[in-house]
A = this chain, B = another copy of it.
């Protein structure tokens, strides 16, 4: 693992807990025991550091959520696996501060620029992949189903983060089961 990767590992953790704006160069460098300018040199600007952190979080999401489901056949089984894996990713607390993407989207949805664009594109890609599986599964209104599943997953994350409500994951699973075909 390169030094850059080590920085990004810590950056993603900090950002999930305190936001992408809380990712200050001074704080991150002192936590990792290198100078500000040493860290800065790996990225060139704070915005580039934020973009790199989003890329690193996207890789983690792929490894933790998507990759383990790829053995399931496309259509209904894959759709079901995506949903279970997505809730499981929250339940396993992959990021210390809850879903990195929910936190980052809430923080940047009102700030136009490349960070917002990267977040939107990444989440858009994931939602369209679920939609594709819903279509293959013969769901009547795939966009509506994906809106509902996505809302329930986000809702479980928010309920757990604010109320420490562990039941939220079970509630999300129960609601999603009612929506899936079969």
What is A's interface to B at a CB cutoff of 8 Å? 16-19, 21, 97-98, 102-103, 105-107, 109-111, 116, 119-120, 123-124, 143-144, 147-148, 150-152, 154-156, 158-159, 161-163, 168, 171-172, 174-175
- For chain A, what secondary structure do more than half of its interface residues adopt (helix, strand, loop), or is it mixed? helix
In the bound complex, residues from chain B placing their C-beta under 8 Å from that of A156 are 151
Please determine whether A175 and B144 come into contact, CB atoms closer than 8 angstroms.
Answer: yes
- In the complex, what residue of chain B is closest to A106 when comparing beta carbons? B106
Among residues of B, the one whose C-beta sits closest to the C-beta of A156 is B151
Q: How far is the CB of A147 from chain B (nearest CB, A)?
A: 5
Known: A98-B109, A110-B161, A144-B171. 20 other contacts (CB 8 A): A18-B111, A19-B19, A19-B107, A97-B109, A97-B110, A102-B158, A105-B158, A106-B158, A109-B158, A109-B162, A119-B162, A144-B174, A147-B171, A148-B155, A148-B175, A150-B155, A151-B151, A151-B154, A151-B155, A152-B152
